[in-house]
Amino acid sequence: MSLPIRNVAIIAHVDHGKTTLVDALLKQSGAFREGEAIIDCVMDSNDLERERGITILSKNTAVKYKSTLINIVDTPGHADFGGEVERVLGMVEGCLLIVDANEGPMPQTRFVLKKALEKGLRPIVVINKIDREFADPHVAVSKVLDLFIELGADDDQCDFPYIFASGMAGFAKETLEEEGIDMKPLFESILHHVSPPVGNPEKPLQLQVTTLDYSEYLGRIVIGKIHNGTITSGQQAALIAEDGSITKSKITKLLGFDGLKRVELQTSSAGNIVAVSGFANANIGETITCPNEPLALPMIKVDEPTLQMTFCVNDSPFVGQEGKLVTTRQVRDRLMRELETNVALRVQEDPESPDRFAVSGRGELHLGILIETMRREGYEFQVTQPQVIYREINGQKCEPYECLVIDVPEDAVGGCIERLGQRRAEMVDMQVSGGGRSQLEFTVPARGLIGFRGDFMRATRGAGIMNHSFLDYRPVAGEISARRNGVLISFEEGVATEYSLKNAEDRGIFFIKPGTKVYKGMIIGENNRPQDLELNVCKSKQLTNMRAAGADDIVQLQAPVEMSLERALEYIGSDEMLEVTPESIRLRKMNKKFAKR
């Protein structure tokens, strides 16, 4: 007899402790054997997730509590990965909404919660990090209720259950007065408030593909919830594609979830979340069904991309020196492969230039993660400045708007409001968040945020925190002049010398250090003036019979500005490109006079 099932998603804003809370649930459910080495944030499976401390890909795990199988789906907290969120919410009957007791609901909380309410889910609110300084759990609950009402939640959804917790300390409790011991109150809340999955095991099989995975031994693996019927390893089944075509195949392997492991199953019935192999061409949203009575489930609707940039083959003088995968075919194949699992991404080939691809995504972070992943895999390519995607709605040209929340020191509030005002932002709310800081909320055109992070960090002396998520499309706000000084450009190929960089220090700030290889047209720094300036940074000090080149005092250079991938994407202008290789990130001009000859 199969176990009773509960399917829950865990949704939250970035850094509100979602993955840490899942760690505590796994540890206290007995998912790990005694003495097993356990790393923190076990659900963050790839290097990028661990480095950045964010969830990028939705993941499945399962725990057993009181003879009930609880399938848990850890979802991304960033709106740029909303494609992941929208897919997995269709698999669950309930969700845990994690909110920081100090910060309260943040932009991505709003984004993911809106998706959950639209699905008709009744979230269990978990006020996390109650042991933090300046934490005010009851105020956080009030803010969550305000957000529910603002998003149009019905009376039943507004009467949400809530739990106080600390994922790091590993406890949950129903009231602040009682002592926190373990996660039992949260487990009990899931059993009590999350309804069992609806589905009839006697009906024909219907399993909707929500996540794709790959194994060298099994090939493509599809993960999804069984909406109706029973699935058995080795049985014949049919795949109904998006265009309505039907392909028959055999279920070669059926897997379930137990802790972080996948376990082989012989059979499973309606309500469970399983992984299936045997359908090499299955895609997100398609239905695996009974071949005798094929019935398709509604396709999953994912919000369209809002930002686009051009990927093109690297044509710089240094092409092929650091990366192995540099050809048009290799870049095209990699982008097409990404489309199979990244449902929020769009790729279009340029008919006039076969080595250029228009890649559209949900935001700079969404596209930045793709670029970083590709360069780590050995690809070498170039990208242009991100551009917003306009739409025509009711005959009017519209652009994407973002909800922006900034947390800044009080002495930086005026400067931030002024800078955002120049970018057509409108302030919606302002609150004192404690500790000499203020929290401000704005609505701002998405193009107004391109290149804003560097300006924001300067205005707050590095002490500001900014988060934003897609809001909606609104009429175009008008011209936005993102003021930026000109750039310093190398006008010859060679190696930058300490002597030349020291002599040019009064021209601006540099992005390179002595010993860096440069080429004609490469951007090496930012000018102090509005116009671009070409420099020779490869010139060395001449030897004479009167003095030696190293006879002077040791040269003291200003520290160069480190250009990370995200910072470089925000910095480049419309006539500039970013050269991305496994070892380097270089900014360059795309002007013809600097093109490779």
- Known binding residue 11? Answer is no
**pLDDT beyond 80 at 350:** yes
Q: Is 20 annotated as a binding residue?
A: yes
Asked if residue 261 has pLDDT above 90, the reply is no
| Phi (first) and psi of residue 375, to 5 degrees | -70, -30
Is the Cβ–Cβ distance between 164 and 174 less than 8 Å?
A: yes
H or E element at residue 588: strand 585-589
Task: Evaluate whether 461 touches 437 at the Cβ level (below 8 Å).
Answer: no
Encoded tokens for 143:
């803010």
Residue 237's φ and ψ, nearest 5 degrees, are -145, 170
Q: Does domain 5-193 have CATH number 3.20.20.150?
A: no
Tens of pLDDT, residues 431-464? 886 668 888 889 999 888 887 877 788 888 888 8
Higher pLDDT, 569 or 596: 569
- As to burial, measured by CB atoms within 10 angstroms (0-12 exposed, 13-18 middle, 19+ buried), residue 390 is middle
User: Which carries the bigger pLDDT value, residue 344 or residue 150?
Assistant: 150
247 is in an annotated binding site: no
User: Is the model's pLDDT at 79 over the cut of 50?
Assistant: no
Q: How far apart are CA 497 and CA 417, in angstroms?
A: 41
pLDDT at 46: 45
Beta bridge pairs of residue 138: none
389 is in an annotated binding site: no
Closest CA to 29 of 65, 61, 4: 65
> Domain spanning 303-390+476-597: which superfamily?
Elongation Factor G (Translational Gtpase), domain 3 (3.30.70.870)
Tell me whether residue 130 is annotated as binding.
yes
Tell me what pLDDT residue 13 has.
Answer: 67
What does the pLDDT average to over 412-426? 90
Closest CA to 532 of 576, 586, 479: 576
Least confident of 97-111, 310-324, 354-368: 97-111
C-alpha span between 376 and 384 (Å, rounded):
19
**Smallest Cα–Cα separation from 239: which of 296, 300, 277?**
296
Spatial contact of 413 and 432, defined as CB atoms under 8 Å apart = no
> Mean pLDDT: which of 68-82, 346-360, 480-494 is highest?
346-360
Looking at residue 128, what DSSP letter applies? E
- Asked if 277 and 252 touch (Cβ cutoff 8 Å), the reply is yes
* DSSP-derived pairing of the beta strands 346-349 and 171-173: unpaired
Is the full-model pTM beyond 0.75?
no
Q: State the Cα–Cα distance between residues 583 and 575, nearest whole angstrom.
A: 24
Q: Is the pLDDT of residue 162 over 80?
A: yes
83 assigned to a ligand binding site: no
Q: Which residue matches tokens 């594609």? A: 241
376-406, pLDDT tens digit by residue? 899 999 999 888 889 888 889 999 898 888 8
C-alpha span between 207 and 289 (Å, rounded): 6
366 labelled ligand-binding: no
Query: Residues 281-302: pLDDT tens digits?
Result: 887 788 999 888 888 888 876 6
Helix 452-459, helix 413-422: angle, nearest 10:
160
Q: Comparing 37 with 74, which gets the higher pLDDT?
A: 74
Most confident segment among 97-101, 200-204, 520-524: 520-524
Instruction: Please give the average per-residue pLDDT across 303-314, as a whole number.
Output: 86
Distance CA(43)–CA(451), nearest Å, equals: 32
Higher pLDDT, 15 or 550: 15
Q: Tell me which residue has tokens 């040209």.
A: 397
Confidence grade of residue 358 (pLDDT, cut at 50, 70, 90): very high
Task: Tell me, yes or no, if the two domains 5-193 and 303-390+476-597 fold the same way.
Answer: no
**Residue 131 annotated as lining a ligand binding site:** yes
User: pLDDT tens digits for 45-74?
Assistant: 444 444 444 433 445 788 888 888 888 887
CA pair distance 357, 372, nearest whole angstrom: 17
* Predicted confidence band of residue 14 (pLDDT cuts 50, 70, 90): low
Which phi and psi angles does 595 have, rounded to 5°?
A: -65, 155
pLDDT at 427: 92
Place of tokens 């376990």: 263
Q: What is the mean pLDDT of residues 533-543?
A: 83
Of residues 271 and 215, more confidence is placed in 271
- Above 90 in pLDDT, residue 39? no
| Residues 112, 77 contacting (CB under 8 angstroms) | yes
Coil, strand or helix at 227: strand
Long-range contacts of 390-395 (CB under 8 A, 24+ apart): 390/476, 391/473, 393/473
Question: Integer distance in angstroms from the first to the last C-alpha of the chain?
Answer: 72
**Residue 3 tokens, joined:** 């176990």
The CATH architecture one would assign to domain 391-475 is 2-Layer Sandwich (3.30)
Q: Is 128 assigned to a binding site? A: yes
What does the domain layout of the chain look like in residue ranges? 5-193, 206-289, 303-390+476-597, 391-475
Confidence (pLDDT) at 45: 44
**b/e map 172-198, b = 16+ CB within 10 Å:** bbeeeeeebeebebbbebbeeebeebe
Of 3.40.50.1220, 3.40.50.300, 3.40.50.2300, 2.40.30.10, the CATH number of 206-289 is: 2.40.30.10
Residue 522: pLDDT band with limits 50, 70, 90 = very high
pLDDT exceeds 50 at position 81: no
Backbone φ and ψ of 566, nearest 5°: -65, -40
3-state secondary structure 234-262: CCEEEEECCCCCEEEEECCEEEEEEECEE
Average pLDDT, the chain: 81
Residue 172 tokens read as 């949950």
pLDDT at residue 573 is higher than 60: yes
Q: What pLDDT score does 588 carry?
A: 93
pLDDT > 70: percent of the chain? 85
129 marked as binding residue: yes
Q: Answer for the pair 511, 480: CB distance below 8 angstroms, yes or no.
A: no
